[in-house]
Structure 1
Amino acid sequence: MQTNGFPNDHFYVKLVPSGSHGEAFWRSEFKEAVLWLFSENVKIQPSEKPVAKEVKTAKLAGGKLMRVVDFPSNYIKPRNVDVWLPENYSATKKYSVLYMHDGQNLFDETTTWNKQEWKVDEVASKLMLAGKVQDFIVVAPYNIPAIRWQDYFPQKAFDYLNVETQKDIHAKAKENKFSLAFNADNYLKFLTEELKPYIDQTYATKTDREHTFVAGSSMGGLISMYAMCEYPEIFSAAACISTHWVGLMPMEDNPIPDTFFAYMSENLPSPETHKFYFDYGTKTLDQYYPQYAETVDIIFKKKGYTDTNYKNLLFEGADHSENSWQKRLDIPFTFLLKK
């Protein structure tokens, strides 16, 4: 366009890394395109503020569930974001905030793929009613199954692999038609630059690091760890449940776990201001995690973490499922949010 003499204000180019070739993406961009076409040198303005509406069909044990459908983002593919507000939520007081991944699996089993849920509203309500934890809200962006791995894999850790191993993994991924288009850095930009400002403007929150937490399971455990390391000024504690240390599918001579450990060794935040909770079971996919527990313990101890700000717990017989996670959810919640 420039070579053919078009002035910069006569054309507009936008790259959306997570954009895909389909109606959902085109719909998300259509308004901006029309406004630009019919504008008179008017600068593109940010999208309108997202609107959350109460989900009256959700079967909750307590509190209220609000939802933004297709939360707009310049970093990731739009997806729903649920916000759970505790019973008697009041705009006149301030609440801590827990960001939890895989939002569609947290509150209502009737809408999940496997008819299991974390029962976050039940557990959180009981803990708050008993006075064991701070009053808090839960912010829960959904995952998009087709790109969940790409959104959650700690992409800077991949750089710790040597070049030949990276080439080999890329070749195998191509052979199996699996995308290695890492997008975790953009996912975290979405959380910190787009979602958190919206939450803090819309709800009565304590906006400081001390009262901002992150949690998830499996790949969600990995991205929670990554969020703490990349944004230590925003998050103070993470719960990484059944953390998927294998990174990919379990395999012999897997080079991926060592990349996570090398990354953590160099990037863990200060134990004076941060806390980490990890756990793992022994059944189904969780059976591949105990072998890494000692390595994780060593890394954190070398960084100065102690029993007061670090846990890595074994749950014998627990499997890799929402049913297992909800049975012990009170433990990480209490560790993160204890009064």
Structure 2
Amino acid sequence: MSCKNENRKEDLVDHQKVSMKYFKGYSDAQLFSGKLMRMDSFPSKFIKSRPVDVWLPESYSKENKYSVLYMHDGQMLFDSTTTWNKQEWKVDEWASKLMKDGKTEDFIVVAIHNIPELRWQDLFPQKAFYLLNEAEKKIIELQSNHIKQGNILYGDNYLKFLVEELKPIVDSEFSVHENMENTFVMGSSMGGLMSMYAISEYPNIFSGAACISTHWIGAAPIEDNPLPKVIFNYMKSYLPDSSTHKIYFDYGTETLDVHYPQYATTVNTILTKKGYTEANFKNFKFEGTDHSENSWNQRLDIPLTFLLGKE
């Protein structure tokens, strides 16, 4: 992959003059290709306002229609010079290459920024948490981190924001396919859980989800952790119709990902019993990879091709 041009601000689709009511061109991002549009503080009646970016490929044209990929943790996707750990997903690199090579349908990316202090509350699958019994809730409450606020969850409202507020504006301002078959969701870690939750709660909106290094343990590692059980029980009940949807999972083996391989068989069993096959379900192990954007950006082409690949 080519390096980003550090010497100038990328704005490679200046020829695309589009009148936007909400999203404005954001030239400060150092991109490999394409253009970033931003709404600095997206107003919502459901969740705390936050920035939302829309990445457009270099060839974006109102004469064409594009699929839409919604991604969580949006500030981590495009520009490592602005992220807290100086890493990024390299979404613009991979998306540009895959479209240019004809391996995926044309698509845009909607990047929803997280608010760090609210990330867990926003991204945990809310209905799964409510499956905890009282004894299990007490185990959770003994933790010394933000999971103690588990009775104040925003996962359902986060999805209402995405589906009822954000998607209609994206559909109106950009030249996109609005149907389920061309709408997808992707995230890592807690964003992996939320992507699974999104396609399960809104199966008529999303046809595919990619869940990278899915955080099956739900929060910080603890003994007798009840969260994986309720997450899997939720999936058994709510995963969408396998004949019209596809789901991708993966996991590494290092740092935080060391906790995930133990759940691979359970995940495979649940999806198989729900009717998923190799054609519409993946659960890949990436030996030696850790829980970081630098690991995820090495394999991003795999979930992108799985979701958006040309037939």
| TM-score, with structure 1 as normaliser | 0.83
Return the match for 2:149 from 173, 179, 182: 179
- Report matched runs for 1:74-223 at 5 Å: 74-170=45-141, 172=142, 178-180=148-150, 181-223=152-194
The separation in 1 between residues aligned to 2:221 and 2:50, in whole angstroms, is 29
Please state whether the residue corresponding to 1:258 is helix, strand or coil: helix
* 1:258 alignment counterpart: 229
Does structure 2 conserve the Cα–Cα contact (< 8 Å) formed by 1:50 and 1:71?
no
- Which portions of structure 1, spanning 4 or more consecutive aligned residues, are displaced by more than 3 angstroms? 175-178
Paired letter, 2:259: Y
Does structure 2 conserve the Cα–Cα contact (< 8 Å) formed by 1:84 and 1:139?
yes
- The alpha carbon displacement at 1:252 in A equals 1.7
The separation in 2 between residues aligned to 1:145 and 1:176, in whole angstroms, is 13
The separation in 2 between residues aligned to 1:70 and 1:204, in whole angstroms, is 22
Does structure 2 conserve the Cα–Cα contact (< 8 Å) formed by 1:84 and 1:137?
yes
Does structure 2 conserve the Cα–Cα contact (< 8 Å) formed by 1:50 and 1:68?
no
- The alpha carbon displacement at 1:50 in A equals 5.8
The separation in 2 between residues aligned to 1:282 and 1:78, in whole angstroms, is 35
> Which whole-Å deviations, capped at 9, do the CAs of 1:184-223 have from their partners, x for residues lacking one?
0000000000000000000000000000000000000000
Paired letter, 1:56: S
The separation in 2 between residues aligned to 1:88 and 1:335, in whole angstroms, is 22
> Which whole-Å deviations, capped at 9, do the CAs of 1:308-334 have from their partners, x for residues lacking one?
000000000000000000000000000
Paired letter, 2:122: D
- Report matched runs for 1:216-235 at 5 Å: 216-235=187-206
Does structure 2 conserve the Cα–Cα contact (< 8 Å) formed by 1:50 and 1:72?
no
Return the match for 2:35 from 46, 64, 77: 64
List gaps (5 residues or longer) in structure 2.
Answer: 1-19
Paired letter, 1:218: S
- Report matched runs for 1:239-254 at 5 Å: 239-254=210-225
The separation in 2 between residues aligned to 1:110 and 1:77, in whole angstroms, is 25
- The alpha carbon displacement at 1:88 in A equals 1.7
Paired letter, 1:286: D
* 1:52 alignment counterpart: 23
* 2:11 alignment counterpart: none
Please state whether the residue corresponding to 2:131 is helix, strand or coil: coil
Please state whether the residue corresponding to 1:140 is helix, strand or coil: strand
Q: Which one has the largest radius of gyration?
A: 1
Identical counterparts, % of pairs:
63
- Aligned-residue RMSD, C-alpha: 1.2
The separation in 1 between residues aligned to 2:137 and 2:293, in whole angstroms, is 33
**Pairs aligned (count):** 289
The separation in 2 between residues aligned to 1:187 and 1:159, in whole angstroms, is 16
Please state whether the residue corresponding to 1:88 is helix, strand or coil: coil
Return the match for 1:335 from 302, 306, 310: 306
List gaps (5 residues or longer) in structure 1.
Answer: 1-48
The separation in 2 between residues aligned to 1:283 and 1:316, in whole angstroms, is 8
- The alpha carbon displacement at 1:86 in A equals 0.3
The separation in 2 between residues aligned to 1:213 and 1:71, in whole angstroms, is 20
- Report matched runs for 1:319-330 at 5 Å: 319-330=290-301
> Which whole-Å deviations, capped at 9, do the CAs of 1:37-74 have from their partners, x for residues lacking one?
xxxxxxxxxxxx96211111211111100000110000
- The alpha carbon displacement at 1:92 in A equals 1.3
Please state whether the residue corresponding to 2:108 is helix, strand or coil: strand
| TM-score, with structure 2 as normaliser | 0.91
The separation in 2 between residues aligned to 1:290 and 1:51, in whole angstroms, is 42
Please state whether the residue corresponding to 2:88 is helix, strand or coil: coil
* 1:300 alignment counterpart: 271
